[in-house]
Amino acid sequence: MALANRMAKELKMLRKSPPQGVCAWPEGDSTTRLTAQVQGPADTVYEAGVFRLAVEVPERYPFEPPKVTFTTRVYHPNIDASGRVCLDVLDLPPKGSWRPSLNLVTILAAVRQLLAEPNPDDPLDQDATEAYLQNRPLFDATARRMVAEHAGGGAGPAAAAVAKPGQPKEQQQGQQEQGQQQAQQQEQQQGQQEQEPPQQQEQTQQQLGQGPAGPSDQGGDERGGPAYGGSTPGKAAAPTASDAGGEQDQDGVGSVGGLLTAIHGAPDSSPLEPPRKQLRTE
């Protein structure tokens, strides 16, 4: 009963005031088995990663420390390949410094701090410790490679900020990728809509043998407003073969004569006569 009350308070504390870069949640209905996610500290070889941990609270808690294990592979002097963590607050005295006044919030904050400040004097991974002490560039390169391979390297610090308790990291990444794809599709659709009127105008100009269309040819006034008669702003309705009174060719576009008639009105001379020549005869 005492353990249940203690865990209820600590879980509430984790929800309302989690340590910076840390979130944790219970596994299912259990209050003694938790999953935690730790964001790699800034300005370290781990900053691009988000690391997952398993937390097991013993029955004698808080008189015994919780067991914390990295389930994400990490290259660190104080963390071995199986995920065990060598940290003084996770051990009882005299070897460790655990005391009942500590809690899960302080434990997870200490684990994250260990990523920023390894302790080579109390090593657990001998190879990582030797590289850390004797060949720091090699250690840094290996640690970053492990982050990229196992901890979602490249996602950046924002990955932990958007983490939701109980939601798998893979599902969060899938939602982010889906949102990015939807945004790209919307941008492509907008780009196609913006490019559509100039394409229609260019096609009409090529058929008429004219230069770039002026404001009146685009179906709007000089201020870019809609054409009179209810045309859509920025999109002048192209004359069709039925409007022009001409026949359609194989491409479904009205004949040149029909288009000239629709745009300039019925001329006095041949419909194939250029509009400028018609103006001179008038």
Residue 119 belongs to a domain: yes
The number of folded domains in the chain is: 1
Residue 135 belongs to a domain: yes
Give residue 81's domain range: 1-151
pLDDT band at 220 (very low <50, low <70, confident <90, very high): very low
Q: By the 8 A CB rule, do 244 and 255 touch?
A: yes
pTM over 0.75? The answer is: no
Mean pLDDT value across residues 73-83:
97
Is residue 123 over pLDDT 70? yes
Q: Which residue has the higher pLDDT, 182 or 214?
A: 182
Q: What is the pLDDT of residue 53?
A: 98
Q: What is the pLDDT of residue 191?
A: 55
Reported as a single tens digit per residue, the pLDDT across 139-196 is 999 999 999 999 986 444 334 443 444 444 454 455 445 545 555 565 566 555 555 5
Reported as a single tens digit per residue, the pLDDT across 3-32 is 999 999 999 999 999 999 999 999 999 999
Residue 103 belongs to a domain: yes
Copy the structure tokens of residue 100. Answer: 């009942």
37-63 per-residue burial string, b: 16 or more CB within 10 A, e: under 16: bbbbbeebbbbbbbbbbebebeeebbe
Kindly report the CATH number assigned to the domain that includes residue 26.
3.10.110.10
Q: What is the pLDDT of residue 152?
A: 87
Q: What is the pLDDT of residue 20?
A: 94
Task: Give the integer Cα–Cα distance in Å for 27 and 226.
Answer: 60
Q: Which residue has the higher pLDDT, 99 or 196?
A: 99
Residue 168 belongs to a domain: no
- Give me the active site residues, please: 86
Reported as a single tens digit per residue, the pLDDT across 40-69 is 999 999 999 999 999 999 999 999 999 999
Is residue 259 over pLDDT 90? no
Residue 217 belongs to a domain: no
Q: What is the mean pLDDT of the chain?
A: 74
Residue 66 belongs to a domain: yes
Q: What is the pLDDT of residue 177?
A: 57
Question: CA quadruple 82, 35, 123, 101: dihedral positive or negative?
Answer: negative
Q: By the 8 A CB rule, do 82 and 74 touch?
A: no
Amino acid of residue 278 = Q
pLDDT band at 101 (very low <50, low <70, confident <90, very high): very high
Residue 259 belongs to a domain: no
Q: What is the pLDDT of residue 145?
A: 97
Residue 26 belongs to a domain: yes
